[in-house]
Chains A and B, each alone.
Chain A
Amino acid sequence: MKPKHQFQAEHVVSGYEHRRVVHGVSLSIPSNRISVIIGANACGKSTLLKTMARLLKPESGRITLDGKSTDQYPPKQLARIVGLLPQSPIVPEGISVADLIGRGRFPHQTWLGGWTKKDYEAVAEAMEIMKITELANHNIDELSGGQRQRVWIAMALAQQTDILFLDEPTTFLDITYQVEILDLLTDLNRKHGTTIVMVLHDINLSARYADYIFALREGTLIAEGEPSKVISSDLIKDVFGLECTVISDPVSGSPLIVPIGRHHVNV
């Protein structure tokens, strides 16, 4: 089981050159659980995730891991604790599945040490968890979108971090693959205790798969907690500006939102 960590954002203000996107967010990531950040387009959820994963430097405020600001850790050391799968990573031309996943071992390797038994094991284990062992020698170019995404997650898994950030890991995937990816991530969390923090677009999948939800609106955190306690028609109206009814998901018992809209309303 992965150790407990305290990962916090303290009054984080962040954004891009001419546009401030996150306006003072403080939060604490529940250790060894799955957290999902939800919010409308351009509400700053990806920016917040990027800032926590040190892709963006906060304008003010700080991100701390176990009480110490993350920019005080040597980058490689931090990369052994906190991993990240960005939204659109780049596939080098002609790379094989195993080679790509192996690159996740970078923070564990030294120049002289080269590849050790541990590296091989980590790659093999990551492929097993993502159920892609039989694809190991394939070229990434030959794979489907769903398979590719599993390869990328396996790369992040090979990094063997305790905390894993994922920026919209299910975007551009068919619903079947979305569920498959979220199931695999849940396996990972339940079996290994990996803390998972991700941005998802689909509210209903978020409500089902998240242990904890952070709801963002215009760069501020407006609600957080377990999905069953947080998700309500009022919150959805607040976050997305959408009228809806919340019912209980007949499969999982988690909250399920049913949008109302202007047409096709019988009740």
Chain B
Amino acid sequence: MSKSLSLNEKPYGSPTPKHFTIVLILCLLALGLCVLASLAFGSRIIGFKELMDVLFNTSADSYDSDVIKQRMTRTVFSLLCGGALGIAGALMQAVTRNPIADPSILGVNTGASLFVVGGIAFFNIGTANEFILMACIGAAITAVFVLGVGSLGRGGPTPIKLVLAGAATSAALSSLVSAIMIPRSNVLDQVRRWQVGSVGGSSWSDIATFSPFLLIAILIAFLTAPALNALALGDETATGLGVRTGVLRLIASFAAVVLCGTITALAGPIGFVGLLATHLIRLMIGPDQRYLIPMSALAGAIVLTVSDVIGRILGRPGELEVAVVTAFVGAPILILLAMKSKVRTL
């Protein structure tokens, strides 16, 4: 065997996962393709030549260039949202040590929506910042509640218990959202599209508003990655390694909640992106959080943008909201993962 040979070639315990460079290059290529597709496809399809023309010849002034400008906003917005959801998923999975944690599965997105809808109906909120604040509060309360309920009983927060607690909470909160919305036609109009989760109605000012929130949360995610690696070995091992597990969980959950809350406030509840992104990456480069978190951001951006493009193609001449697409792709994956984790943990 060549096993003993590699001892001299590469130090063991190397911090860089196998195939990392290849995976990174593939992801970046995929991301580039996504961006091009997102600019080209829609109710009006723009050819590659025209696309290049508009992109590299800014003076070109045509109907195509207007369309592309509008799609540019949408593309940047969906890349940021997808990236944020990818990181939020990775953080939630690390904090709960649960492979099927995801903002939508734990009901956090629904909690955020409830607070936004409630804010519109009862407090007349309207600005993006107010939306974000309400959504973050809703996300935080729901996260605490679901984690609390899911941890009751023997064995702490097992994957199955968390998913059940999340699903039940999400269902209850969704019906509350409907109860608030349906009798109020003004609210209904304002949130009808938002409530499904879409990246279509975005503007540069939206992007400017939520970027600082994203930046802070992403910074926290990167800073906590090494400690989250220790937490993956269990609370006792992590404590033995010098991690304050309670503080770590609080900080990482805070970042996850801010990410989900911000995205939900501006795009509406979008599910399964975090789940898909993290599992795709984990399959390719393994469980090291220092690589998993940034790569999940990349994968999340790809997943959401591809879903958005698919939604635009399938829904022509209108469009299918991106959350509908992610749900259709994500739900079967969730079932697969749940079946697998049942074998492992029950």
Which A residues fall within an 8 A CB radius of B?
Answer: 50, 53-55, 74-80, 82-86, 88-96, 98-107, 109, 111, 114-115, 119-120, 123-124, 127, 133-134, 136-137, 155-156, 158-159, 165
Contacts and interface: CB of A to CB of B under 8 A. Distances in A.
Interface stretch (B186-194, B223-231, B307-315): B223-231
B244 A98 contact: no
Given A53-B239, A86-B236, A106-B226, 11 more contacts: A76-B242, A79-B240, A83-B240, A89-B237, A90-B232, A93-B287, A102-B13, A104-B241, A115-B13, A120-B13, A124-B11
Interface string B15-49: 10100000000000000000000000000000000
Contacts of A155: 233, 237
13 contacts: A75-B242, A75-B243, A76-B242, A77-B242, A78-B242, A85-B237, A86-B237, A91-B233, A95-B287, A103-B241, A107-B241, A115-B14, A159-B240
Nearest to B341: A93
Contacts of B11: 120, 123-124
A42 to B, nearest CB: 18
Given A94-B282, A103-B229, A86 B14 contact: no
Interface in B195-240: 223, 226-227, 229-230, 232-234, 236-237, 239-240
A79 B241 contact: yes
Nearest to A101: B13
B119 interface: no
A100 to B, nearest CB: 8
B241 A159 contact: yes
A123 B243 contact: no
Given A79-B242, A103-B241, A159-B241, A114 B234 contact: no
Interface string B272-291: 00000000001000111000
A127 B223 contact: no
Contacts of B14: 98, 115, 120
A213 to B, nearest CB: 24
A107 B236 contact: no
Contacts of A124: 11-13
B12 A89 contact: no
A159 B232 CA distance: 16
Contacts of B330: none
Contacts of B3: 134, 136-137
Nearest to B11: A120
A263 B17 CA distance: 59
B241 A106 contact: yes
A94 B6 CA distance: 20
Nearest to A109: B226
Contacts of B15: 102, 114-115
Contacts of B344: 93
Contacts of A82: 240
Interface of B: 3-4, 6-7, 11-15, 17, 97, 99, 223, 226-227, 229-230, 232-234, 236-237, 239-244, 282, 286-288, 344
Nearest to B238: A106
Nearest to A97: B12
A99 B291 CA distance: 13
A102 B288 CA distance: 11
Contacts of A91: 233
Given A53-B240, A79-B242, A120-B13, A106 B286 contact: no
Contacts of A109: 226
Contacts of B12: 98, 101-102, 120, 123-124, 127, 133, 136
A31 to B, nearest CB: 19
Contacts of B99: 93
Contacts of A94: 282, 286-287
**Chain B CB within 10 Å — which of A74, A83, A136 has the most?**
A136
Contact of A99 (B241, B244, B282, B286): B286
Contacts of A88: 234
B287 A137 contact: no
A134 B17 CA distance: 18
A90 B97 contact: yes
A88 B282 CA distance: 24
A111 B223 contact: yes
A93 to B, nearest CB: 6
B219 to A, nearest CB: 11
Contacts of A107: 241-242
B97 A54 contact: no
Contact of B229 (A53, A106, A133): A106
B165 to A, nearest CB: 21
Given A89-B236, A102-B15, A95 B241 contact: no
A83 B237 CA distance: 9
Given A93-B287, A134-B4, A86 B227 contact: no
